[in-house]
């Protein structure tokens, strides 16, 4: 179970994993909008019915996914978040303002922003959405018939910065745990490589085999691509490659280096 959680954290912060979660949040937001609209009895301020606006937003979502396969800019999450905010704002205005269920999308926009921005930037996004939502509700005709709804609007939109802080702190905690897990894995890998070296040194009498093991393990410990070990020839004036990793050993078989060049 713990291993699965660690794998999920690793996947969550990969670029592809972020994008998958981000797209999933967008569809989940639309599902919640649909569910909440079924329990919304208000009709004041509705300029277009939900049966018209909701399919239009679904088509927009599908269109953005299709365009993302053809162009680069729809695949950039921040561009998509900005478009989502504008579409949600229009949908809120058309479907009643303060009582529109499309307001839920703003919460998911804040959660999506937390994946790609730091705490301060995410809070700034939430504050901008707060101002945008209050403005939309004031412009909608429903606010003129129910002037006291401004208080509920402010309270609902004031939750956006709180959601931003919670999401950003939660994701930052996950990032730190993921980094700690990666450090632990790197340490285990290095200790394993060192253990292999010690075992070869203590059990094998074949010098070539020991040197090759040392070179290979050194690449693992140092995360290097190429390494080789040179030995002094019998004349004491030149070095020859004795073990190689990441290079063609045949091409280096006849190579010799003067001692002074190596030093």
| Digit-coded pLDDT (tens) for 138-180 | 898 888 777 777 788 888 888 999 999 998 898 888 888 878 8
Q: How far apart are CA 100 and CA 137, in angstroms?
A: 9
Distances in whole angstroms, Cα of residue 138 to Cα of each of 98, 143, 146: 9, 6, 10
Q: How far apart are CA 161 and CA 110, in angstroms?
A: 8
Task: Indicate whether 195 pLDDT > 50.
Answer: yes
Q: What are phi and psi of 80, to 5 degrees?
A: -65, -35
- Nearest CA to 99 out of 44, 157, 151 is that of 44
Task: Indicate whether 70 pLDDT > 60.
Answer: yes
CA atoms within 13 A on the CB side of 239: 14
Task: Indicate whether 250 pLDDT > 70.
Answer: no
Whole-number pLDDT of residue 76? 83
Q: How many residues does the chain have?
A: 263
Q: Backbone dihedral region of 130: left (phi > 0), alpha (psi from -120 to 50 degrees) or beta?
A: alpha
Confidence of residue 1 (pLDDT cuts 50, 70, 90): very low
Note the pTM of the prediction, 2 decimals: 0.68
Instruction: Quickly list DSSP for 159-197.
Output: HHHHHHHHHHHHHHHHHHHHHHHHHHHHHHHHHHHHHHH
Q: How far apart are CA 92 and CA 94, in angstroms?
A: 6
- Nearest CA to 216 out of 202, 197, 191 is that of 197
- Nearest CA to 233 out of 210, 256, 212 is that of 256
Q: What is the helix (H) or strand (E) element at residue 227, kind and residue range?
A: strand 227-232
159: Cβ contacts below 8 Å, ≥ 6 apart: 107
Domains of the chain, by residue range, sit at: 2-181, 204-262
Q: How far apart are CA 84 and CA 33, in angstroms?
A: 14
Q: What is the pLDDT of residues 77-120, one digit of tens each?
A: 888 889 999 999 999 999 988 889 999 999 999 988 888 888 89
Task: Indicate whether 75 pLDDT > 80.
Answer: no
* CATH classification (class only), 204-262: alpha beta
Task: Indicate whether 263 pLDDT > 80.
Answer: no
Q: How far apart are CA 129 and CA 21, in angstroms?
A: 21
3 state DSSP class of 51:
helix
Q: What is the pLDDT of residues 4-61, one digit of tens each?
A: 444 545 555 555 667 777 788 889 999 999 999 999 888 888 999 999 999 999 999 9
- Tell me the torsion sign for CA atoms 231, 233, 237, 243: negative
């Amino acid at each position: 179970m713990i291993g699965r959680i660690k794998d999920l954290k690793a996947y969550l912060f990969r670029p592809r994993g972020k994008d998958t979660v981000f797209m999933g949040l967008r569809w989940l937001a639309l599902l919640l909008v649909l569910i909440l609209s079924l329990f919304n009895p208000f009709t004041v301020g509705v300029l277009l019915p939900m049966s018209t606006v909701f399919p239009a937003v679904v088509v927009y979502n599908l269109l953005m996914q299709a365009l993302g396969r053809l162009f680069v800019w729809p695949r950039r999450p921040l561009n998509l978040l900005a478009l989502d905010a504008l579409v949600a704002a229009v949908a809120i205005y058309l479907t009643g303002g303060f009582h529109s269920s499309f307001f839920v999308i703003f919460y998911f926009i804040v959660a999506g922003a937390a994946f790609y921005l730091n705490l301060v930037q995410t809070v700034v996004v939430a504050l901008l959405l707060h101002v945008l939502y209050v403005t939309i509700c004031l412009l909608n005709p429903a606010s003129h018939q129910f002037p006291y709804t401004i208080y509920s609007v402010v309270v609902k939109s004031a939750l956006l910065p709180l959601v931003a802080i919670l999401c950003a702190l939660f994701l930052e905690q996950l990032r730190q745990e993921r980094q700690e897990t990666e450090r632990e894995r790197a340490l285990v890998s290095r200790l394993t490589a060192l253990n292999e070296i010690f075992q070869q040194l203590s059990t094998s009498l074949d010098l070539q085999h020991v040197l090759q093991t040392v070179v290979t393990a050194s690449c693992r410990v140092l995360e290097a691509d190429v390494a080789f070990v040179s030995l002094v020839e019998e004349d004491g004036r030149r070095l020859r490659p004795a073990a190689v990793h990441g290079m063609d050993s045949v091409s280096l078989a006849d190579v010799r280096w003067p001692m002074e060049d190596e030093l």
